[in-house]
Amino acid sequence: PNQPPVVFHWFPFLGSTVVYGMEPYKFFNKCQEQYGDVFTFILLGRKMTVTLGPKGNEFVFNGKHADLCAEEAYTHLTTPVFGSGVVYDCPNHMLMEQKKFMKFGLTTETFKAYVPLIKDEVVNYFQTSPFFSGQSGKVPLSTAIPQLTLFTASRSLQGREVREALTTTHAALFHDLDMGFTPVNFMFPWLPLPHNAKRDKAQKAMAKLYLDIIKRRKSGEESKKEIDMIWNLMNRSYKSGETLSDLHVAHCMIALLMAGQHTSMATTTWTLLHLAAKPEIQKALYDEQIKVFGKDLAPLTYEKLSELQMVNNVVKEILRVHPPLHSIMRKVKSPLHVPDTNFVIPSSHFVMAAPGVSAMDEKYFKNAKEFDPFRWVGHEADEDNAEKFDFGFGLVSKGTASPYLPFGAGRHRCIGEQFANVQLGTIISTLIREFEFSLPPGQKDVPLVDYNSMVALAMAPAMVHWKRRAG
């Protein structure tokens, strides 16, 4: 057995860091052409073995914990931000339990309560934000959408008290913590940079915000009836019988805040840009609102959201063309044979999946580069299982060997998918009822992608023009 081919590079430690970092997909595609689906590149001294295609996705996502370990790949970045004892700073079986606890707080019951809260936040935003005053205007998405995402997620999932703190006492702290959630911290989280010192201070202050809320709730000073994630987590205990400590509740809440913020914010931004570029999709979305809610546009409800097929197809298509996470990493724990090849990956390597590569591959999606939500029409039956479908290419994927995995798969699969759909569906529906969007005059297409952040964002200036819908 051989080791996978190593991507050619001039400098030993730097390797392919710069080309990968600037345009990961361009780099992956070029390497795929040259070396095939399995190859190793050097990322700041680390040997990263990439496995592309549906089988490569499956290899990484479905790896056994004994072979592939997520915490060793991510902890440097996440632990200083989330705090100790949770997610990637504890044994994997504890993360599995924490994910179960989080899922208890993401039920139909809570989603029903969240839809009107999210809707109110969106309406309040465009009624008070200077970007939306008057009958028409333009909005810088890189400022507006992070705010809108934070307000909607915090008011629903994080709870009323957190929502209030994030616009007042804790707004700057959230910003400082967020600045610590940056790709450079994958490798150099301990660098004595000012932003890391601020991050550490902000982490403690954010944790205290949650600890104070928990204390107030425990003392009965505040209503215990609020349906939210804090209350849910406060009432969970590990199989060992140990309860989730207050500090772990606080750190789980920060993890949820961060995981949801970046992914949802990127998705909403790309949605508005693509809608602005394609008025016919906006029309289809508006027509659907009329069809489902009637001419007078009855209030949004959770039940009705699932009838909004066009909204769902737009979100699915955005996540195909712009999956927020382009690189999924694991540390190899024992030498691993790559199925259907004669490659063995040594335990000194990391592995990397990039499901965004297969999601944009002509082999699996006709006109793969084209943003076309209508391609999902007729695949509604796959709604509950995006990992299993047939696109008329004779490909029926089972399990995780799928070309389309924006939420991952296997033991580390996302628990936030339904919440994201509720949040995005409510935001899109509320905006489309009120506004029509277009790209700035003279701009033909959506901006290029900026990969310098945790998620694939739109290159500045990401601007859309809006006008209020007539009648």
Q: Which residues bind ligand HEM (CB under 6 A)?
A: 70, 95, 99, 102, 157, 256, 259-260, 263-264, 267, 319, 324-325, 328, 406-408, 412, 414-416, 419-420
Minimum CB separation from ligand HEM for residue 386, in Å?
Answer: 11
Least gap, CB of 443 to ligand HEM (angstroms):
25
Indicate the residue among 80 and 260 with the shorter CB distance to ligand HEM. Answer: 260
**Minimal CA–CA distance to 191: which of 44, 362, 92, 48?**
44
Nearer to ligand HEM, 70 or 249 (CB): 70
Pick 263 or 289: Cβ nearer ligand HEM: 263
Question: Residue 438 corresponds to which tokens in the numbers above?
Answer: 């277009």
Place of tokens 């992956």: 28
User: Of 35 and 404, which has the nearer Cβ to ligand HEM?
Assistant: 404
CB of 375 to ligand HEM, least distance (A): 18
Cβ of residue 262: shortest distance to ligand HEM, in angstroms? 9
CB 82, CB 251: distance < 8 Å? yes
CB burial class (10 A; 0-12, 13-18, 19+) of residue 41? buried
To ligand HEM, the closest distance from the beta carbon of 425 in angstroms equals 11
Q: Which amino acid is at 329?
A: M
CB of residue 258 to ligand HEM, shortest distance in Å? 9
In degrees and rounded to multiples of 5, residue 360 shows phi and psi of -115, 20
Distance CA 275, CA 310 (A): 12
The burial class, CB within 10 Å (0-12 / 13-18 / 19+), for 193 is middle
Q: Where would I find the H helices in 62-159?
A: 71-82, 92-104, 108-128, 141-153
- How many helices (H) and strands (E) the chain has is answered by 18, 12
The whole-angstrom separation of Cα 25 and Cα 360 is: 10
Q: How far is the CB of 378 from ligand HEM (least distance, A)?
A: 23
Give the residue among 144, 145, 147 at the shortest CA–CA distance from 166.
147
Q: How far is the CB of 391 from ligand HEM (least distance, A)?
A: 20
Closer residue to ligand HEM in complex, CB, 263/436: 263
Based on CB atoms, which residue is closest to ligand HEM, 293 or 430?
430
| DSSP designation for 180 | T
List the Cα angle 409/100/252 in 5-degree steps.
Answer: 100
Give the shortest CB-385-to-ligand HEM separation in angstroms: 16
To the nearest whole angstrom, how small is the minimum distance from the Cβ of residue 254 to ligand HEM? 11
Nearer to ligand HEM, 27 or 270 (CB): 270
In whole angstroms, what is the distance from residue 123 CA to residue 426 CA? 11
Q: Which two tokens stand for residue 180?
A: 């610590």
Nearest to ligand HEM of 357, 420 (CB atom):
420
φ/ψ of 435, rounded to 5, equals -130, 160
* Residue 256 or 311 with smaller CB distance to ligand HEM: 256
**Closer by beta carbon to ligand HEM, 214 or else 256:** 256
Q: How far is the CB of 159 from ligand HEM (least distance, A)?
A: 13
Cβ burial of 470 (10 Å; 0-12, 13-18, 19+) is exposed
Closest CB to ligand HEM: residue number? 416
**Which CB, 51 or 264, lies closer to ligand HEM?**
264
Taking alpha carbons only, the member of 78, 3, 88, 77 closest to residue 47 is: 3
Quote the CA–CA distance of 96 and 84 in Å, as a whole number.
Answer: 16
Nearest in space to 177 (alpha carbons), one of 204, 154, 138, 155: 204
